Structures are given as C-alpha cells and as structure tokens.
Chains A and B, each alone.
Chain A
Amino acid sequence: MDPGGGVPSGASGSRWSRGLGWAALLLVAAGSVVGLLVVPPDALQGQVQRLMYVHVPTAWLGMLAFFVVFVMSILYLVQRRSRWDLVAASSAEIGVVFTALTLALGSIWGRPTWGVWWTWDPRLTTTAIMLVIYVGYLTVRSFADDPEKRARWSAVVGVLGFVNVPIVYLSVYWWRSIHQPPSTPRSMATEFLLALWLNVLAFTVLYVWLLLRRYRLAAAERTLEEQRTGVP
C-alpha cells in the first residue's frame, strides 16, 4: 500500500510549487491587466464583453478539472493506489469552485446581454448539472468513513458522472438552444484572441498549482486520519 500517497517531506516539493504559484499569480495579473485595460471593448457588447476573458478560462478549467477526475478515477479503479484518489478528489474540489464561478460570471454577463440572469441554454444547463454531479461526488466522499471505500465509491461516481456529461448536453441541446455560438479564432480579432489565450494559460497554470497544493493537503489529511484511527 501507499498510505500517504508519497507525501514529499521537507521543502523540496514546495520550491517547485512556490515557483509555480508565483508564475500563476503573475500570469493572472497580466491577463487581468490585458483583459481590462489593454484590449479595446467589444464593438457591440461594450465593456461587459471583458467578462469573457475570465468566463471562458474558468469554464475551461472546470472541464479540465472534471476530466482529470475521470482519468484519475479510472486509474484508481485499475491500480488501487490511494494517490490517484487524492488527486481526483483535489481536482473535483477545484472544478466545483471554478464551475460555480463560471455560472456566476455567465449570469452576470447574461443579464445585460440576453436580458435575463438565467436561460435554459444547453451549455448553461449542462454546466449546472455537471456542477451538481460533482457536488454529489464530494458529498459521497464526506459521507463515507472508510478511506478505501470512500475512494472506490467516489471513483465510480466520477466515472459515471463524466460519461453522462455529453449525453446531458445532447439532450438539452435538442430540448432548446440559444447560447451565443462559441467564439472561434476566425470570429475574433487577433488582440482579443491573444488576451483570451493569455488568460487561458494563466488559469491553467493556476489550476496546476492549486491541484499540487490541494493534493499535498489531502495527502497530509490522509496521513493524519490513518494515525488517528491506527490503520497503517
């Protein structure tokens, strides 16, 4: 067994993550400056369009995080190493936070642009359902006491939940559709695109850093749990 998930002791691991943390901070700051001050406002939507520079990266980060949960869940079920479980749990937590943020930002953008806070658009609805699925994932974890069972059951939920996402999207798409078609490189001016890519990069680095930190915390919690219960 691999109890602590191989917690790196001492500062050797944190040096890396500290550098990454600074990089994330600088990139997010740069992305915000570019998105808020450097790039001109959108011709049609005005200043409110600047929300896109955060909305799209957080949405991407949520998807990335849930995809990592899916992959780590499968890895756990195949190999049964607790470290994969801890990575999956850490990623799910980050994904839930950023998906909630995506919905909040989209709502703030939707009010002046669409005239409503909420609409039953496929991507919007799917994102909300995805959020509920992964809140369920985290709840399963908090309601299972035994670490091994917690890992096994939540991994199963992580797999089923992700399989469901495209089917939910398809079903809601047929049900109704009004979302703005996704911005493609062709539909956007170069400077807008650069600002967007900068922010996507910044949030991706931020994700890796958060995951690293959260994983170390999860591993430490696991070690503590094991010492308390006396299970090796």
Chain B
Amino acid sequence: MELARRTWAILWKDLLIEARTKQGVNAMLFFAALVLFLFSFAIGPDPALLSRLAGGLLWVGIVFTGTLSLSRTFQTEELAGGLRGLRLYPGEVRAIYLGKVAGNVTVLLAVEAVLFPAAAVLFQVDMWPHAPALAGIAVLGTLGFSVVGTFYAALAVHLRARELMLPLLLFPLLVPVLLGAVNATDLILAGDPLGRLAGWVRLLIGFDVVFFVVCTWIFPIVLEE
C-alpha cells in the first residue's frame, strides 16, 4: 500500500511537470510523425507495400520515439541532486522505478493514441475495426519497452556518452518485444488467418512479467551510491 502511494506520488509529480511544460509529448509527437514520413519516403509511395509493412514501421517508430522519451526520464532529477533527494526519502527505493515506468507508459501510450491513427492514414490501413485488439498489443508492447527502458535509463544517466549507451544496451534486449508487437499487430490487421496471434501475445506477456520482476527486484542496486 505504502509502495503504491509512493509510486503514485512520483507518477503524479512527473505527469504534472509534463502537463505544465508540455515539452515531452509535443516534441515526441512531431518526432514520431516525422519518422513515419521518413519511412514512407524511404520505401516509396506504393500503398500496397506500405500497408503490408505498417506493423513493423509503426513499432520501429514507437521504439525510436520511446527512446527519446526514456533519455529524458531522469532529466528532471538530474539538476541539483534531485535523484539523491528522492533516494533520501524513507521507504522503498523501488517506488522511484515503478513511478517512472508508469510515467513512461502513460506518456508513450498518449503518443501512440495519435500515432496509430496517423499510421492508418499514411499507410492506408483500416485499423478502426481492430481498435480494441490493437490497443491491447500497444499496452503490452509499451509496458515491455518501458520496463526495460526505464531500468537502463536509470543506469545510463551516470555513464559517459549516455545518448549512445542507452540504445546500445536497450535495443538488443527489446528484440522479443519488437518481434512480438510487430507480428501481433500484423496478424491482427490481417485478421489472424492461421490463429498464431495467441503465441505472440503470450510471448509479450511473458517478457513483461519476467523483466518486470527482475528489473523491480534489482533496481535498488542501480541507484546505490
């Protein structure tokens, strides 16, 4: 209970800062839209090709945008020893991690709420009939991404060349999430003719659970001084 309250406090603080400055979400939206545009330019205007690649392009766009957001995760705390201040509060250090994960998931889902329709328009895919299923995959994929991403963001904050280090550490670990989310999205859009969707959903859930447990468990080690 205490942990949930502390987690909520961290999440609320970050969302409030975000709501008042609107720095993150706006920039992320434009960046994500730009990535989708670049993909279209790189691949060409063929609608059939673009709609076939929609799932992959969309999720690579999400991963790039999300990585930008991750590197900002601990930016607020960086100035004037804010992170040390947070750590010095009595109680569970893990609340910092859980609150930051929740914050990243919230912001990223908000961006995706715009990004999915944008992709539907740009790549000419009809997503509306599949909206609930796609939303479910978006949540599972974003959760997996944020669980590992927030963990490594906390680690990379202290490293030299962190802009380089975060993707270098993160992307190899994200392979299962990316494969799961892309394949699930494509299968949903194709109507899942062979009934293979359940396997990918299980993979995503399994990844989320395993890394949520492991990362939450060992997070205090990252924050030690």
A binds B: yes
Give A residues with C-beta under 8 Å from B. 77, 129, 132-133, 135-136, 139-140, 143-145, 149, 152-153, 155-157, 159-161, 163-164, 167-168, 170-172, 174-175
Query: Which of A77, A140, A152, A159 has a CB less than 8 Å from the CB of B214?
Result: A159
Per a CB cutoff under 8 Å, which of A143, A153, A156, A175 touches B160?
A: A143
Which of B168, B172, B175, B224 touches A152 (beta carbons < 8 Å)? B224
Main secondary structure, interface of B, reads helix
Q: In the complex, what residues of B have CB within 8 A of residue A164's CB? A: 172-173, 175-176
Within 8 A of A (CB), among B204-218: 206-207, 210-211, 214-215, 218
Measured between alpha carbons, how far is A100 from B120 in the docked complex, in Å?
41
* A–B pairs, 14, beta carbons within 8 Å: A77-B218, A132-B171, A139-B165, A140-B165, A143-B160, A143-B161, A144-B158, A144-B160, A156-B222, A157-B169, A160-B151, A160-B215, A172-B179, A174-B199
Point out the residues of chain B lying under 8 angstroms from A143, CB to CB.
159-161, 165
CA distance A133 to B207 in the complex (A): 17
Measured between beta carbons, the chain B residues less than 8 angstroms from A132 are 168, 171-172
Distance of A167 Cα from B208 Cα, bound (Å): 11
Q: Is B180 an interface residue (CB 8 A)?
A: yes
Count contacts between A and B, CB distance < 8 Å.
84
A133 and B173 contact, Cβ closer than 8 Å, known pairs A140-B165, A144-B159, A174-B203: yes
Q: Give the top 3 A-B pairs by smallest Cβ distance, nearest first.
A: A171-B176, A132-B172, A171-B179
Chain B interface residue number, banded: 20 to 34
Chain A residue with Cβ nearest B177: A171
Majority DSSP secondary structure for residues of A touching B: helix
Query: Nearest-CB distance from B181 to chain A (Å)?
Result: 11
Q: Counting CB contacts under 8 A, is B183 at the interface?
A: yes
Given the interface pairs A140-B165, A157-B169, the reply to whether A171 lies near B175 with Cβ below 8 Å is yes
A95 to chain B, nearest CB (A): 14
- With the chains together, A161 CA to B175 CA distance in Å? 12
B173 touches A153 (CB 8 A): no
Is B158's CB under 8 angstroms from A149's CB? yes
Tell whether, in the assembled complex, residue A139 and residue B176 are in contact, meaning their CB atoms are under 8 Å apart. Answer: no
B169: chain A residues within 8 A (beta carbon) = 136, 140, 157
Known contacts A143-B165, A153-B222, A159-B214; is A171 also within 8 Å of B203 by CB? yes
The answer to whether the Cβ of B155 comes within 8 Å of any Cβ in the partner chain is yes
Decide if B158 touches A171 in the complex (CB within 8 Å). Answer: no
Contact B183 A156 (CB under 8 A): no
Task: Please report the C-alpha to C-alpha distance between residue A171 and residue B159 in the assembled complex, in whole angstroms.
Answer: 30
Query: B221 at the A/B interface (Cβ < 8 Å)?
Result: yes
